[in-house]
Chains A and B, each alone.
Chain A
Amino acid sequence: MDIEGAGPEIAIRHLDKDRVNFVLSNADLSVANALRRAMISEVPTIAIDIVQFEENTTVLADEFLAHRLGLIPLYSANVEQFKYTTECVCTEYCSACSVVLTLEAKCTREGETVMVTSRDLQSHDPKVSPVMSDEFDRGIMIVKLHKGQEIKLTCIARKGLGQMHAKWSPVSAVGFEYDPHNRLRHLEYWIEEDAKKEWPLSRNADFEEPPRDDEPFDYNAEPNKFYYDVETVGSIRPEDVVSMALDVLQEKLKVTEAALQEGQTMLTGGMPGEPTNDGWNQPVDAMNAAGW
């Protein structure tokens, strides 16, 4: 990263329960994109991973229900306290790496339809439970039961990353934009007559000086102001998503840096022929630590 003068800055424009809108400035495009990618796929959350069916006489098949359950967001504020299953010492699952949730519902009355929602999921860990927008939220519909239908199952929720499966991604979408006025001319607008008329400016355009008509094109300019709009699924607070993603990036950089230094020492001081770490294994191990 090429940092001159002031380092990267984050200015939060808007923040609420499941959304953060911020501007990252004084950063390189690669950093900005890395942050975006990390938020989507490398911030760990907890999601249902294994479902053990005891009884399922509903209209939905086992595997389909399991899929639906997996996509239910769970509060994962304390995700850092959990281990990845691959790192855990237990054989199958334990309280250090997983949370058990149970679901039990039955419809016994004629003419009634029981709606089984995520509210019916009973978590063994009060901190890890299905996300609700407020106390009136009825939860996410899982299945509807008719008379005589029953469902009884145990879910094992585990820690995971968005890159393993989308259910572990803490965000639903990450809006990302730079250069709203197209000053850098990265994009050539397709127009019929007039670009200004046909292309509506985004709201981020208000945060930058509109280019003057006689302004010369600066072909050396680089983007350095990035507008993010992060919308989460509710499992982790949006500001935490950002900071956790930054942590992930830092962690990665640390590993890379360490590996580079080791490589340097090997090049300068290491004895020829001496078995050393070739500098590439290290990050892979570190990646393992991150749950690959």
Chain B
Amino acid sequence: MPPQTSQFHTVTRETFARNPSDKQFEYPALQTLTYPHLKSFNAITECCHGDSAEDGLSPGLIERALEDIGQKVVFDGKPGGVGGYGNKLSMWVEEVQIGRPAVSERDTHSVNRLMFPSECRERLVNYAGRLMVKLCWRVNNGPVQTELKQMGMAPIMVKSNLCNIEKFSPRQLIDVGEECEEMGGYFIVNGLEKIIRLLIVNRRNHVMAVVRPSYANRGPSYTPYGCQIRSVRPDETSATVGLNYLSDGQVMFRFSWRKQEFLVPVLMIIKSLVDTSDMEIFQAILREDFDNTFVTDRVELMLRKFKNYELHTREQCLAYLGDKFRVVMNQAEDVSDVDVGKFLLQKVVLVHLKHNRDKFNMLAYMIRKLYALVSGECAPDNPDSPQHQEVLLGGFLYAGILKEKLEDWLNGIRMELMRDVRRNPASADFLDRRYLMKIIGRVPSDIGQKLHYFLATGNLVSSTGMDMQQTSGYTIVAEKLNFLRYLSHFRCIHRGSFFAELKTTTVRKLLPEAWGFLCPVHTPDGTPCGLLNHLSHSCKVLTYFARVDHLPRLLASLGVSLNVVNPEAGDLSVQLDGRLIGWCSPKLAERVARELRHWKVTGQHDVPLDLEIGYVPPSNRGQYPGLYLFASPARMMRPVRYLAADRKDMVGSFEQVYMEIACMDDEVDPKTSTHQEYTPTNILSVVANLTPFSDFNQSPRNMYQCQMGKQTMGTPAQAIAKRTDNKLYRLQTGQTPIVRPKLHDSYGIDGFPNGMNAVVAVISYTGYDMEDAMILNKSGHERGFGYGTVYKSEVVDLADARRRGEATRYHFGLGADTPRKVLEKLDLDGLPFIGIKLRDGDPMCAYVDDVTGRTIVKKFKGLEDGYVDQVRLLGSDAGDKECQKVHIRFRITRSPIIGDKFSSRHGQKGVCSQKWPSVDMPWTESGIQPDVIINPHAFPSRMTIGMFVESLAGKSGALHGIVQDSTPFQFNEQHTAADYFGEQLAKAGYNYHGNEPMYSGITGEELRVDIYIGVVYYQRLRHMVSDKYQVRTTGPVHVLTQQPLKGRKRAGGIRFGEMERDSLLAHGVSFLLQDRLMNCSDYTQTHVCKRCRSIVSPAATAVSAASTRRTVQCRICERDDAVVLIAVPYVFRYLATELMAMNIRLDLAVN
């Protein structure tokens, strides 16, 4: 039996609402939902180890990025100086500062200089802080000079460490006009809330074996085999490199630089990395496994073939590389070829590793894995499996763009200097600070604006491509349609728009590897199905680096050989974050993995809980074996119970595949199970968890509910007075559901009601509930059932009306020439009265034109009447200008009408087809009349048993006045939900199965069968007829064709298309056909000359002295006796003239 843990908590909530806390949030779980966004943004300026800042700070991402950008060098070409190139100017960015959002400096009125998010939303501006950059340079070896440059305003994530409300308590949040449980995690751009989407990318620093047929198209002797690794630098930017296998056994190293792809023999890279010998390379790849002739043959051949280059030493290889890549790498003139080569290796080859020796080992490992793949010793890794995936976090992407823009700026300065040196060598003087400032001033420096462009459009404008597969679709608007939709924006995770175009459906498949990380239920159906997933509610995305410096030592103490050069045959590699740290036998590896896990869970030896211990055991043609440890951020992890110590273990998506995690109690096998799920609902997303009794439903229905829950008219926000959204839907009479899961309480969904508890009878009554229609009780509706409101906004900006640079000529207000009627709606300030009702064409606001002295009245447009809800006067940033912009919010009442859409929480949607007066509704013996009647046919094929159970639970909950816990997986065959709730019903004197005798409202006679009636939570969906109906008798027509226009907005018609025409033809109803296609469309009459059979030749004669009557005469025959009037569609006339223009004569045979 499910324990009765849920309660309505009405009093607690009331207390919290009246006295918001000064300390903690009421729903801490809610706050954690946006952590992937928030913490990743925080990492830009402060990176920490572990969950709390106390664990020790390390430089933020941007600081690391500056290190990676390095110095840019220019020469002035003057005689003397370094190496004959002239004076050497090297410059670099030393520091980046992002300030907290504050009011403009020009503002002289504000005492409190801080700016808060709600102000930005209301004023439709950006929430941004000043971006300052410290540019340093030195000439030759002279003193370092610095200049602080302002680079525009950088967008700031709400509630991040740069935000002004970062640590605000609920009470403070309310004081600054926020939601009391504000979660942050988004940017405010032009008043809109923008989120950087979470994207799925390849797991970092892990070699993946891939077989791609397209690899074979790269050139002769290329094969589909390859392996690749996405290396991530310490500043969270990445570079993917790969190996390609050629049919002769050679291996090419593939990398891309500035969106261009390059292929280099892998031995060239290996030999450039370290001073090495062929022997050493041979051993590093083979690892004492000399019996493996497949590999020995190929390595030998590869080494032999490389002799053709005649490059013997490391220097030679580097110089060769540097020579070939000097132009591509865009290096300064004084840099030697060897250094260019080194630069290439540093920037491109396995950038996650710092030391060349590590890179060498890793490359050798990659080659060996590639050979293993080719020989069939191991299987290719599936890039679509979450095992090989991680998350690209918004904050990290933001940092990457910032880094790139900074580098672009530096490069821009360099190019500008070079150009100036070339053009005006005389005036170029690097020692003159003013000269340098002049040049720097020419380079566009508004990085803030570029960041805003990125957030506003979601387009990534990048010179390097940033190792991404897409250039657009990075950001989304966080719509506050209702709370569930808002929430799921932060939890949604996209596979990348590249995969959306893919014809194969393999990427969309739900894989068992995703268990617990991605919700199997919460994905839309249709185009984005399977590509747009949602994180399970318990899944965490790491945003910090776990501390693992001591791990190699720890591993050594467990017996792992740290001697990476000469492993024994059959040994497995041990890798930590893509660095080869040692070797050990499979047996030992298993023990090490077990031991490490125990330590990490119990907190011994400082092994971080977030360490991922992926032990891939040797198998027959399975995944390539090894012990892979991960401690890096951006991984998905989730909590499960570690049985040996009965403590929480965090499990990652890589290791989970090889772990024994039992789900339910009876699945725990003492021999194998090491872990157990805390609860099976952990695998579901927040929204999917809110579907009551979802385990009783057919699975697609739960998917539909996840969609419909997000389309419901509910409570979008509590601070509705502070919202300026274009469109806001609100249910005025929301209720808390009687039947809800426990998570409903922990996420505080009660603060945002999404529907109503309705008495639902499942009965076919009067026929108006056929085909998914539903009948509403008119009296219920009159008492407020489903009453909703839509808020629409309108912005009037007088600056739009005048030309740029022109003096202010328009002012809000009414002039002397105002018509009397306008005064009924508008006040003297030219703005509408609050609360007044406006019809289509009524004045909405008015302003006076200085120049003409006339009053211009703006009209309200809309098919529906609106009440003026709020008028906002939007001032300028500095507050020193006259008000030129107003924001008017209208309230449109939407009480439910026939044609509006409703749904239960089980994917059972329906359209209201009739509102019966309550006397006509059936009733039960106690006089209860249903609010909603649905048809029994809605059930057999859809199998939403959960709805039946909810009905039972809701009924007994209502009778006993209790909350019913609807968390899925609480019941089983021994303890069925039907019995549990049936007993409650029986106790209240009702039928055990939830049926009741009912009486016909019309005759009063008892219905022949008893009816299933209970209480079900109903949602009102936002699709309403008022937004959709389209009718037309006559109306506007197209200028050219004279046919009716299309489009609801333009009062157009609905197309009577080809297929509709076909069906009328098939029916033989030609009169109807003519009526539709001609009489009601573009009917015209025209003259035709029967003799010359032309439609274009007849023309009206001029009025002459001879006759005042105009006749129509054929211009070719010059007579009028053969001219007749016929009816044709207007487009036909148009066609005739078009043909005439092409010298084609149209011959009409008229009888």
What mask results when residues 776 to 797 of chain B are scored 1 for a CB within 8 Å of chain A, else 0?
Answer: 0011101110010100000000
Known interface pairs A166-B918, A187-B1006, A200-B986. Does A53 touch B923 (Cβ–Cβ under 8 Å)?
A: no
Q: Does A199 contact B (CB under 8 A)?
A: yes
Other-chain contact of B779, A34, A166, A178 (Cβ < 8 Å): A166
Q: Is the pair A186, B1005 in contact by a Cβ cutoff of 8 Å?
A: yes
Contact present for A198 and B992 (CB under 8 Å): yes
B926 touches A41 (CB 8 A): no
CA separation between A162 and B999, bound complex, in Å? Answer: 20
Residues of chain B contacted by A186 (CB below 8 angstroms):
1005-1008
Whether A49 is near chain B, meaning CB under 8 Å from some CB there, is no
Interface residues of B in 984-1035 (CB under 8 A from A): 986, 989-993, 995, 997, 999, 1001, 1003-1010
- Min CB gap A59→B, angstroms: 7
User: B925 near A40 (CB under 8 angstroms)?
Assistant: no
Contacts known (A166-B778, A190-B1009, A200-B989); A30 close to B1003, Cβ less than 8 A: yes
Given A113-B18, A200-B991, A202-B925, the answer on whether A176 and B779 have CB atoms closer than 8 Å is no
Nearest CB of A to B251, in Å: 70
Q: Give min CB distance, A97 to chain B, whole Å.
A: 22
B residues less than 8 Å from A56 (CB atoms)? 835
Chain B residue contacts of A162, Cβ below 8 A = 779, 918-919
Closest to A179 in B: B1006
Provide the residues of chain B in CB contact with A167, threshold 8 Å.
782-783
* Cβ–Cβ < 8 Å partners of B869 in chain A: 61
Residue numbers in A under 8 Å from B732 (CB-CB)? 64
Known: A56-B835, A174-B923, A187-B1010. A29 touches B1005 (CB 8 A): yes
User: Is A101 an interface position by the 8 A CB rule?
Assistant: no
A118 at the interface (CB under 8 A from B): no
Known interface pairs A61-B789, A62-B835, A71-B783. Does A176 touch B993 (Cβ–Cβ under 8 Å)?
no
Interchain CB contact (< 8 A) of B721 among A37, A41, A59: A59
Closest to A168 in B: B782
Instruction: Find the B residue at minimum CB distance from A34.
Output: B1004
Confirm or deny: B28 has a beta carbon within 8 angstroms of a beta carbon on chain A: no
Is there a chain A Cβ closer than 8 Å to B37's Cβ? no
Residue B917 CB within 8 A of the other chain: yes
A45 to B1106, CA, bound (A): 82
Shortest CB-to-CB span from B1012 to chain A, Å, is 9
* Contact, CB under 8 Å: A63 / B1006: no
| A67–B732 alpha-carbon span in the complex (Å) | 11
Q: With contacts A33-B1004, A173-B926, A229-B927 known, is A166 near B783, CB below 8 A?
A: yes
B residues near A177, Cβ cutoff 8 Å: 925, 999
Given A61-B789, A61-B869: A188 touches B1009 (CB 8 Å cut-off)? yes
| Chain A residues, Cβ within 8 Å of B919 | 36-37, 40-41, 162-163
* Given A173-B928, A200-B991, A229-B926, CB of A36 within 8 Å of CB of B782: no
User: At the interface, yes or no: B641 with Cβ under 8 Å from chain A?
Assistant: no
Interface contact B927-A176, CB-CB below 8 Å: yes
Known: A163-B917, A200-B990. A33 touches B835 (CB 8 A): no
B1042 at the interface (CB under 8 A from A): no
The answer for the CA separation of A82 and B607 in the assembled complex, in Å, is: 84
B928 to chain A, nearest CB (A): 7
Q: Is B981 an interface residue (CB 8 A)?
A: no
**Chain A: interface residue count, which band?**
35 or more
Asked if A231 is an interface residue, CB under 8 A from chain B, the answer is yes
Alpha-carbon separation in the docked complex, A63 to B721 (Å): 17
Contact B927 A63 (CB under 8 A): no
- Separation of A200 and B990 alpha carbons in the complex (Å): 7
The smallest C-beta distance from A140 to any residue of chain B, in angstroms, reads: 13
List A contacts of B989 (CB < 8 A). 200
In angstroms, how far is the closest chain B Cβ from the Cβ of A73? 12
Bound-complex Cα distance A166 to B919 (A)? 11
Give complex CA distance A177, B999 in Å: 8
Q: How far is B778's CA from A199's CA once the two chains are assembled, in angstroms? A: 31
Q: Does B867 contact A (CB under 8 A)?
A: yes
Evaluate whether A33 and B1003 lie within 8 angstroms (CB atoms) in the complex, with A41-B917, A67-B784, A199-B991 already known: yes
Complexed CA–CA distance, A186 and B1005 (Å): 8
The answer to the question of B891 belonging to the interface, with a C-beta cut-off of 8 Å to chain A, is yes
Which chain B residue lies CB-closest to A231?
B927
B1006 nearest CB neighbor, chain A only = A186
Q: Which of A52-80 contact B (CB under 8 A)?
A: 53, 56, 59, 61-64, 67, 71
Which of chain B's residues have a CB closer than 8 A to the CB of A113? 18
A175 contacts chain B at the CB level, 8 A cutoff: yes
Q: Is B893 in the interface zone, CB < 8 Å from A?
A: yes
Tell me whether B1010 and A63 are in contact (CB under 8 A): no
Q: Which B residues are CB-close (under 8 A) to A37? A: 919, 1001
A155 within 8 A of B: no
Q: Say whether A187 contacts B917, CB under 8 Å.
A: no
A235 within 8 A of B: no
Q: Which of A41, A61, A187 contacts B867 (CB 8 A)?
A: A61
Residues A176 and B784 in contact in the complex (CB < 8 Å), given A56-B835, A63-B893, A198-B993: no
Minimum CB–CB distance for B256 against chain A, Å: 57
Q: Which residues of B contact A231 (CB under 8 A)?
A: 927
Taking the closest CB of chain A, its distance from the CB of B979, in whole angstroms, is 12
Measured between beta carbons, the chain A residues less than 8 angstroms from B721 are 59
Complex: A176 Cα to B1004 Cα, angstroms: 9
Q: Does A127 reach chain B (CB closer than 8 Å)?
A: no
CA distance A176 to B1006 in the complex (A): 10
Interface pair B991/A198, CB less than 8 Å apart: yes
Would you call A175 and B927 a contact (CB within 8 A)? yes
Q: How far is the CB of A241 from chain B (nearest CB, A)?
A: 13
Interface centre among B721, B919, B1009 (most CB of A within 10 A): B919
Distance (Å) between the CB of B784 and the closest chain A CB? 6
Chain A residues near B784: list those with CB within 8 A: 67, 71
B832 shortest CB reach to chain A, Å: 14
Q: List A71-106 residues whose CB lies under 8 Å from chain B.
A: 71
Interface residue from B18, B891, B918, B1004 paired with A29 (Cβ < 8 Å): B1004
- Distance in angstroms between the alpha carbons of A169 and B982 in the assembled complex: 34
Task: Tell yes or no: A280 within 8 A of B by CB.
Answer: no
B787 and A67 contacting across the interface, CB-CB below 8 Å: yes
Asked if A189 is at the interface (CB within 8 A of a chain B CB), the reply is yes
- Inter-subunit contact A175/B926 (CB<8 Å): yes
A245 to chain B, nearest CB (A): 12
* Minimum CB distance partner of B985 in chain A: A200
Q: Kindly state the separation between the CA atoms of A216 and B917 in the bound complex, as whole angstroms.
A: 39
B6 to chain A, nearest CB (A): 25
A32 at interface (Cβ–Cβ under 8 A)? yes
Q: Which residues 190-206 in A have Cβ within 8 Å of B in the complex?
A: 190, 192, 198-200, 202, 204
- CB within 8 A of B835: which of A53, A176, A189, A198? A53
From the candidates A36, A53, A166, A176, name the one contacting B925 in the complex (CB within 8 A). A176
**CA A178 to CA B784, docked complex, whole Å:** 32
A179 to B925, CA, bound (A): 11
A34, A59, A62, A202 interface centre (most CB from chain B within 10 Å): A62
- Residues of chain A contacted by B893 (CB below 8 angstroms): 63
Which residues from A are CB-within-8-Å of B1005? 29, 33, 186
Distance from A188 Cβ to chain B, minimum over Cβ atoms (Å): 6
A124 at the interface (CB under 8 A from B): no
Contact status of A41 and B918, CB under 8 A, knowing A29-B1003, A165-B782, A177-B925: yes
CB pair A187–B925 under 8 Å, yes or no, is no
CA distance A64 to B733 in the complex (A): 10
Interfacial residues of chain A within 110-168, with CB under 8 A of chain B in the complex: 113, 162-163, 165-167
Nearest A residue to B982, CB-CB: A198
The 8 closest A-B pairs by CB, nearest first: A33-B1004, A173-B927, A166-B779, A175-B927, A166-B782, A186-B1006, A177-B925, A37-B919
8 A-B pairs, CB-CB below 8 angstroms? A32-B1004, A34-B1004, A61-B869, A64-B787, A169-B918, A173-B928, A173-B929, A231-B927
Known: A33-B1003, A174-B927, A175-B926. 15 other contacts (CB 8 A): A40-B918, A41-B917, A63-B893, A64-B787, A64-B789, A162-B779, A166-B782, A173-B928, A173-B929, A186-B1006, A186-B1008, A187-B1006, A198-B991, A200-B986, A200-B989
